[in-house]
Structure 1
């Protein structure tokens, strides 16, 4: 990651797992609740979303997925409950849901703005690309070498023109 690249890390709120925590507390006397609380806490802590200038990395447990911002076609905020919701990122080939985010509408709008900025950056990069030479790489060096030989009188005009035509 370059020094000037910005990044933000988001994690799901505990409210996204409210019902799991609720049933874990209720079932604590049966000892299943302790396992359910531990499993829910571990699941919640294993999820994170790292958003940079060019991509979004989704970590869910041991699985990590990268999504380039330029590939995102749509970012839609999902339903909200307990003040948290989800953001669904749609690309041409897949759909990924970022769960448990506070203020998902603002996050989806921010992601859409970042996608627009990334597409503009890519377009500007294409336009700024230097035009391709009409000569093969190194052909200018060979032409300079031939010109030097011709100027020194080591080859005559006919040989110079013939070699120049080959280039």
Structure 2
């Protein structure tokens, strides 16, 4: 039987619209000794630098060197920042703040819709965690099986196989 508990993931990259100005300038500089071709390559590499992976429980940000993970339940605030050009092409940067750190998702298409989805997912995960903590079974006070061992010790004492002193000394371990 297949395992049904696998997490769903979605992967996003920086939108090409976020680098629209870089692409436009590079195209304009192509006649100038081919400098624009180098510019196009550099802008393309910069666009593909960041990858964001969203799962049911966490968000991962990966660049050329590092990967950062933030659990959804730890996120306290989600905010969107846009420059005037980003507003025109409907892209923006989303900042996720926790008590310890923050993560910026750069150049995301339709940032306000993504912010809304993230806030829903965060609240769902927090509710799920609360329910899980409420339904957590209580731990027994003593070690499991200690009652059986105490009964065994009492039986030995009643049969006279254990002295009163030894019985009292061993009984302290079970209290």
Give the alignment's TM-score, normalised by structure 1.
0.83
Structure 2: runs of 5+ lacking an equivalent: none
3-state SS, counterpart of residue 28 of structure 1: coil
Give the stretch that moved more between structures: 104-113 or 136-145.
136-145
Following the alignment from structure 1 to structure 2, what is the Cα–Cα distance between the partners of residues 152 and 6?
63
Alignment of 1:1-167 (within 5 A): 3-29=5-31, 30-79=33-82, 80-136=87-143, 139-140=146-147, 142-147=149-154, 149-150=156-157, 154-155=161-162, 159-167=166-174
Q: Which aligned runs of 4 or more in structure 1 are off by greater than 4 angstroms?
A: 150-153, 156-159
Contact 1:88 1:95 in 2 (8 A): yes
| Higher share of residues assigned strand | 1
3-state SS, counterpart of residue 76 of structure 2: strand
Give the stretch that moved more between structures: 86-95 or 20-29.
86-95
Instruction: Say how many residue pairs are matched.
Output: 166
Structure 1: runs of 5+ lacking an equivalent: none
Per-residue CA deviation, residues 21-64 of structure 1 (Å, 9 max, x unaligned), is: 11111122333322221111112123111011111001122221
Contact 2:73 2:126 in 1 (8 A): yes
Contact 1:9 1:48 in 2 (8 A): yes
3-state SS, counterpart of residue 17 of structure 1: helix
The alignment's C-alpha RMSD in Å is 2.5
